[in-house]
Amino acid sequence: MKKHTASLLLSTLSLACMQAFAADPAPEDYVRIKKTEKKTAEAAGEKLPVKYPVEIRTDDKEVKAMLEEYLPLITQQQEEELDSEQMGFLAEEAPDDVQTMLKTKGYFNGRVTVSPSGYGYVVDVTPGPRTKIDNVGVAIVGDVMQDPDLAQYYKSAMENWSLPVGGYFDQSQWSSSKTSVLAAVTRKKYPLAKLSQTQATINPDTNTADLNVLVESNQPVYFGDIHVSGTKRYPESVVRGMAQFQPGSPYDLDQLLDYQQALEQDGHYSGASVQADFDNMQGDRV
């Protein structure tokens, strides 16, 4: 590991991601000011006009768009009517809010100042250099290491990895990449696999990041017996006959989904649900 490396663990960056990239930033995503009896955007069914204008000054168009959409100094005005004292509180918090958002896009050396301007504020932002990925480490351990298809698991794990070496760090892509690695293992034969360690290590001196993901496969799992409930007019054999797998074959999520789809599309039934009952496994059978 390089010197002067600052480790930013998943929990810290996950919080930053929640604040910056929620599809519709919810009130609970930020520290809220005390509620007033004034008109709220929720009651009106639309965004309120911004009473205290906020100008975002930065040369980065992506950063500017992000802050204009998610910065509480702006968004909370659109949710409820605020007075100058409440706006002052939000203005004090704004530099930290901006820094948190910048980090989700890979800017760990940003500079932010917030200044009064007439009835509103000017937010000056210099993002600084963007962090690049210097190293990616993905390891799959456990029983899967003796599996003859281990190479295929690694190939599948990296197919949807979106943060290659040389690319820019992005919190949302970091989250989706970890999810894709785990899904590649849990989808076939190892549904009990877990992310045992994930870490994004940021070096603010060199603006580089090392990303590491460790998946513990746990034991292989095989299909057990099929238990059927809810049949009335037709015998259970109709249901069982649509399964494209047999007891003892390796667990495969795609086969479960295909089974459910076949039942849903069959004219015998108005609906169907197929679930793997992991809570009642018998040895390695589900």
Q: Distance between CA atoms of 156 and 139, rounded to whole angstroms?
A: 13
Give residue 3's pLDDT: 39
> Does residue 104 sit within a domain?
yes
> Does residue 207 sit within a domain?
yes
Q: How far is CA 157 from CA 14, 108, 145, 203, 241, in A?
A: 21, 28, 14, 26, 33
Q: Region 63-72: what's the mean pLDDT?
A: 97
Residues contacting residue 165 through CB under 8 Å, at least 6 positions apart: 133, 134, 135, 136
One-letter amino acid at 103 equals K
Same-domain check for residues 152 and 95: no
Same-domain check for residues 150 and 109: no
One-letter amino acid at 5 equals T
Tell me the pLDDT band of 256, cut-offs 50, 70 and 90. very high
> Does residue 280 sit within a domain?
yes
Residue finishing a domain among 216, 241, 258 = 216
Residue finishing a domain among 104, 126, 148 = 126
Output the six-digit token pair for 59: 């040369």
| Neighbour count for residue 167 (Cβ, 10 Å) | 14
> Does residue 88 sit within a domain?
yes
Domain of 164, CATH number, reads 3.10.20.310
- Whether 169 has a pLDDT exceeding 80, the answer reads yes
Give residue 28's pLDDT: 39
> Does residue 5 sit within a domain?
no
Q: Region 58-72: what's the mean pLDDT?
A: 97
pTM for the model stands at 0.77
Domain of 121, CATH number, reads 3.10.20
Same-domain check for residues 157 and 209: yes
- Taking alpha carbons only, the member of 147, 134, 132 closest to residue 220 is 147
Give residue 121's pLDDT: 97
> Does residue 6 sit within a domain?
no
Q: Region 33-47: what's the mean pLDDT?
A: 56
Range of the domain at 286: 221-286
Same-domain check for residues 200 and 116: no
Same-domain check for residues 228 and 285: yes
> Does residue 252 sit within a domain?
yes
Q: Distance between CA atoms of 77 and 52, rounded to whole angstroms?
A: 8
Q: Region 45-67: what's the mean pLDDT?
A: 93
What does pLDDT average to over the chain?
A: 87
Q: How far is CA 173 from CA 115, 153, 178, 179, in A?
A: 33, 20, 9, 10
Same-domain check for residues 40 and 118: yes
Give residue 45's pLDDT: 62
Q: What is the pLDDT of residues 89-142, one digit of tens each?
A: 999 999 999 999 999 999 999 999 999 999 999 999 999 999 999 999 999 999
- Taking alpha carbons only, the member of 102, 169, 160 closest to residue 133 is 169
Give the total residue count for the chain: 286
Q: Distance between CA atoms of 176 and 181, rounded to whole angstroms?
A: 9
* Number of independent structural domains in the chain: 3
Same-domain check for residues 212 and 226: no
Q: Region 138-162: what's the mean pLDDT?
A: 96
Do the bridges between strand 6-9 and strand 132-141 make them parallel or antiparallel, or are there none, so unpaired?
A: unpaired
- Whether 37 has a pLDDT exceeding 50, the answer reads no
- Whether 74 has a pLDDT exceeding 90, the answer reads yes
Strand partners, 164: none
Output the six-digit token pair for 276: 């793997």
- Whether 27 has a pLDDT exceeding 70, the answer reads no
> Does residue 22 sit within a domain?
no
Q: What is the pLDDT of residues 223-245, one digit of tens each?
A: 999 999 988 888 888 899 999 99
Same-domain check for residues 101 and 175: no
Same-domain check for residues 116 and 190: no
Residue finishing a domain among 158, 182, 216 = 216
- Whether 14 has a pLDDT exceeding 50, the answer reads no
